[in-house]
Structure 1
Amino acid sequence: MKRYLLSVVFLVSISNLQAQKLQGTSSTGSQTQQFQGMAVYESKTSTADMKSRLSGNKEITPEMQKSIEERMKKMLEKTFILNFDKTASIYKEEEKLEAPGQNNGGFRMMSSMMGGGGTYYKNVKEKTFAVDKEFMGKEFLVKDSLPKLEWKLEGETKQIGGYTCYKATALKPVSQSDFRNFRPKKEEAKKEKPAEKEKKTNFMDDFEIPKEINITAWYAPEIPVNQGPEGYWGLPGLILEVSDDKTVILCSKIVLNSKEKAEIKAPSKGKVVTQKEYDEIVIKKMEEMREQFQKGGGRPTMRIGN
């Protein structure tokens, strides 16, 4: 316990000293300059479970499987830019030139459900967030309180981009509209009656979204802001890496106090809904699509991609 308390005091001391160094003063010495930074993150989500289920589904041809895997890879390997200051940040996917045929509603919808698209704004001082989402051709503005994770500070450290990072873990509630959180159902949950097995035509029936997942984060006290990628925040230093058992978000570049300041502003377009309301809209629509899929004998009613 004594060693743990000394570690906490040490981290707080580092944060205070770094804050004083990074803030600086103006030329007149009467006003503190606003500290700002930019971080680039690479996000990757494993598709091993999906590949396993696809290869075991007799109704999906090898050509279909290859096409699905290529689209999944594009949706699940992304680059994001985080612009942040002491109180707020914006997290946005890096803009890339889309290939012909991919700029359609279905592809954008699935990309959004896999963590891409839109601008994620969070204000850690007010403990609120806002993110614009496009779903089924409609624009939504999800505004809500920032989820507060009960972080457990660990003693383990590692180097990321020249910064000494400390480990923290937490149990995180899962958004039911974030399909990166799909997990294979446990064996006991997949048991079904022979008649039900014959009727099943959707391989996604073998997957589920858990209510909560274990999170591991690595934060740098040398950058004294309690910011991070996506909705992650609340640690005594910028989060440079965060992962669960499927998705890893890793910082690849950091720029502090650049002469060019980014505008950190909350998105404002779209129908305003809470996170719970948005999840319910997505779940309801996906259930409707699933029913249509099954009534059509397993034929999809909406194309994803070209």
Structure 2
Amino acid sequence: MKKIILLSGVFLIGVLSPVVAQDLRGKAIYESKTDLDMDFGGEDIPEQDKKRMAERMKQSLEKTFVLDFNRTASLYKEEEQLEPPAGGSGMRMMVFGGPGGDGTYYKDVREKLYYNQVEMFGKIFLVRDTLPEQHWKLENETRKIGEYTCYKATTVKKVRRREFGRTRRDGKEKTKDTMNNTPVEKTKEIVITAWYTPDIPVNQGPGEYWGLPGLILEINADRTTILCSKIVMSSKAEDKIEVPKKGKQVNQAEFDEIMRKKAEEIREMHRGDRRGRKGNRVFRIGG
């Protein structure tokens, strides 16, 4: 029975640890890194420029996040940077299909709701939707992360990616002169590996991740690793973790459609830029 309850993403907090109190609260700092698989779309770019762009992109994907959590809610957001990333060529890079985690992500595990406040293209959106269940498989493997004993859990997630210029109009293999520029949506399954600690018995984790009998300290998802580097627990009653309120409210499906249309618009702009002037470059990250 215990295993069934855990796999459903719900658990009861009992007298497992002295830290379990009505006003349990803490902050966890996470470092996020993503390996690159950059698609330059067949452009004739010097190797030294490719390396420079890849390094700048890598740096932009190395981020620090703060998770403010209690027993029922959490708020996950990027730590503010003192200075913007260094410039250089003046080229502006737009990324689609990269890892999630941008914006401010609020989870209410009791009400099974999430709010994701995201700024895209100069506009703020507030995505509100039902928190998806994550059906974890609990493993026997353990390891230490800092002073905490962590247990392994895995789940499988389907991710959708949109690719351009992958098929011919007749559906056969692509050739240079007959490629169809219509975006093709592909779905693939990735294994998510989590490491959680029952020493901090809250049903929380970074970003969209939750549903284990302890705080999630590490996530490995495809090319992205999110690792907790510091935890500060508090036994004091503090202010309530607030739900983000600013932005145009949409559900996840509506937001995905807005992003799809915008990506196609920018792709069209980029296609025009390739005729002789430098402009925005659009890169795809990941498989």
TM-score, structure 2 as length reference: 0.79
Correspondence for 1:38 among 27, 32, 40: 27
Tell me by how many angstroms 1:128 deviates: 0.6
For the 8 Å contact 2:160–2:185, the answer to whether it is kept is: no
Correspondence for 2:253 among 258, 276, 283: 276
Tell me by how many angstroms 1:112 deviates: 11
Hey, what does 1:71 align to over in structure 2? 56
Distance 2:154 2:218 in 1: 12
Distance 2:174 2:209 in 1: 38
1:60-114 residue CA offsets vs partner (Å, 9 max, x unmatched)? 1234323422331122111111010000000111111123776x9x67x759965
User: Percent of aligned positions with the same letter in both sequences?
Assistant: 49
1:270-304 residue CA offsets vs partner (Å, 9 max, x unmatched)? 10011111111111111121122223436565379
Distance 1:163 1:94 in 2: 23
Hey, what does 2:16 align to over in structure 1? 18
Hey, what does 2:219 align to over in structure 1? 242
1:126-163 residue CA offsets vs partner (Å, 9 max, x unmatched)? 01110111111111001111111111111111111111
Q: Which runs of 5+ in 1 are unaligned?
A: 25-32
Correspondence for 1:292 among 262, 269, 272: 269
Tell me by how many angstroms 1:220 deviates: 0.5
Hey, what does 1:167 align to over in structure 2? 152
Task: Describe how 1:197-212 pairs up with structure 2 within 5 A.
Answer: 210-212=187-189
Distance 1:115 1:168 in 2: 20
Distance 1:13 1:127 in 2: 13
Indicate the structure whose relative CO is greater, using CA pairs within 8 Å and at least 6 residues apart: 2
Residue 251 and residue 46 in structure 1: after superposition, are their counterparts in 2 closer, same or farther (change >3 A)? same
Task: Describe how 1:73-92 pairs up with structure 2 within 5 A.
Answer: 73-92=58-77
Distance 1:260 1:13 in 2: 23
Task: Describe how 1:1-306 pairs up with structure 2 within 5 A.
Answer: 16-19=14-17, 21-24=18-21, 33-47=22-36, 49-50=37-38, 53=39, 57=42, 59-99=44-84, 110=95, 114-115=99-100, 117-174=102-159, 191-196=173-178, 210-257=187-234, 261=238, 263-297=240-274, 301-302=279-280
For the 8 Å contact 2:204–2:211, the answer to whether it is kept is: yes
Distance 1:212 1:176 in 2: 11
Q: Which runs of 5+ in 2 are unaligned?
A: 283-287
Tell me by how many angstroms 1:265 deviates: 0.9
Distance 1:156 1:287 in 2: 44
1:251-273 residue CA offsets vs partner (Å, 9 max, x unmatched)? 11111116594651111111001
Tell me by how many angstroms 1:13 deviates: 11
TM-score, structure 1 as length reference: 0.74
Residue 273 and residue 263 in structure 1: after superposition, are their counterparts in 2 closer, same or farther (change >3 A)? same
Tell me by how many angstroms 1:115 deviates: 3.6
Which amino acid in the other structure matches residue 16 of structure 1? G
Which amino acid in the other structure matches residue 140 of structure 2? G
For the 8 Å contact 2:198–2:215, the answer to whether it is kept is: yes
Tell me by how many angstroms 1:225 deviates: 0.5
What is the number of residues matched between the two proteins? 266
For the 8 Å contact 1:176–1:279, the answer to whether it is kept is: no
